Structure 1
Amino acid sequence: MVPVRTCVACRKRAPRADLLRVVLSDGRLIADDRAVLPGRGAWVHPSARCLELAVTRGMLSRALRASGKPDASPLENRLKTLMDN
C-alpha cells in the first residue's frame, strides 16, 4: 500500500512521493527531501501555487504549530531549484 498525505494548501490527497515535507528549523521553513528530519512536518505539493497559498494564508504555520510567521525564503529557493530541473 502506498502512503498517502494531504497537501496543507489545496487539501488534495496524493501519494507521499508526490508531495514535499516541510519542517520548521530555527524559525525557517526547510524542505525535508528524505522525510527524516525531526519535528513536526507538513506536506505540500512542490508547486509555486501551493507553496504561495500555504505561506500567505498561514497554513504551514498552523500545520507546524508555529507562533508568528516563519521565514519561507529557504523553502522558496529550494522550490525554484526543483522547478528548474
Structure 2
Amino acid sequence: MADRTCIVTGSTLPRDQLIRIVSGPDGVAVVDLAEKLPGRGVWVTNSAVALRRVADRGLLRRSIDAKFDDIESTLEQVGQLMRMRAMATASMARRSGALIGGAGKLLAEGGFEGLLAAPDASEREFRKLSSRLEVTWTSRTFDSEALGHICGRPSLAFAAIRGGKAQKMAEKLRFELMRLERFYATSACHVR
C-alpha cells in the first residue's frame, strides 16, 4: 500500500491512516472512503480534528479548488458512513461463515484472527476469550445491539472472525474497524 502525504500535517502515512477527499462537480469537497471517485484528490489524516482543520484553514481551496459546505454535517456523515462500512463488512463475514457470534461457540470452535466485544461486555470474560482464542487483534467498537444486529440476534456481547481461508475478510474487517476508531480518536484495534 503506497504512502501518501497529509495536507494538514505534512506527514507521510500509509493509506489506511488517511482519508481521500476529491472535488465534486459543483466545487463541494467529497470524502471518498472507497478511494474510487475520479479526479485529483488530496489525503488527510483520518480524524475529525484533521478534517476540521482542513475546513478552517481553507486548505482544499488551494489544493483541489473545493470546500466543505457544512463541516459539522460532513463529520457526522463521514462517521455514519464509516460505521455502515464496518457493519456491512462484518455482516458479509457472518453470511460467509467467517464471523461467529456467542462466547460459547467461540470457545468450542477456536481458530480465530480477531475478537469483537461490546464495550459493556464483561471485562473478565473479554480477557478470558482473547487469551484462550489467541487472537491477534481485538476491537470494542460495536455495542451489544450492533453485534446482535450483525449476527441476527437482539444483542450479543462477543463475536470473532476466523483467520485461515477467511484471512482477507478478517483483514478487511480490521481495516474498517481501525478506520472508524481512528476517526473518533479512540484506541484502534489492539494488536496483540
- TM-score band by shorter chain is 0.7 to 0.9
Specify whether residues 35 and 72 from structure 1 end up closer, same or farther in structure 2 by C-alpha distance, changes over 3 A only: farther
Question: Using the alignment, how far apart are the partners of 2:28 and 2:51 within structure 1?
Answer: 14
Query: Contact (CA 8 Å) 1:31, 1:78: kept in 2 or not?
Result: no
Match status 1:52 vs 2:56: no
- Aligned to 1:27, the other structure's residue is in SS state coil
Count of matched residue positions in the alignment of Structure 1 and Structure 2:
81
TM-score normalised by length of structure 2:
0.37
* CA deviations over 1:19-74 (Å, ceiling 9, x no partner): 1100111222111112111111010112122111111111122111x17x442546
TM-score normalised by length of structure 1:
0.76
Q: How many Å apart are 1:12 and its aligned residue?
A: 1.3
Amino acid aligned to 1:58: G
Task: Could you tell me which runs of 5 or more consecutive residues in structure 1 were left unpaired when the two chains were aligned.
Answer: none
1:19 match? 18
Q: How many Å apart are 1:7 and its aligned residue?
A: 0.8
Percent of residue pairs bearing the same amino acid type: 33
Match status 1:4 vs 2:3: yes
- Aligned to 1:63, the other structure's residue is in SS state helix
Specify whether residues 72 and 41 from structure 1 end up closer, same or farther in structure 2 by C-alpha distance, changes over 3 A only: farther
Task: Could you tell me which runs of 5 or more consecutive residues in structure 2 were left unpaired when the two chains were aligned.
Answer: 83-182, 185-192
Query: Between Structure 1 and Structure 2, whose CA radius of gyration is higher?
Result: 2
2:69 match? 71
Query: Contact (CA 8 Å) 2:68, 2:74: kept in 1 or not?
Result: no
Compare relative contact order (CA 8 Å, sep 6+) and give the higher one, 1 or 2: 1
- Aligned to 2:22, the other structure's residue is in SS state strand
RMSD of equivalent CA atoms = 2.1
- Aligned to 2:49, the other structure's residue is in SS state helix
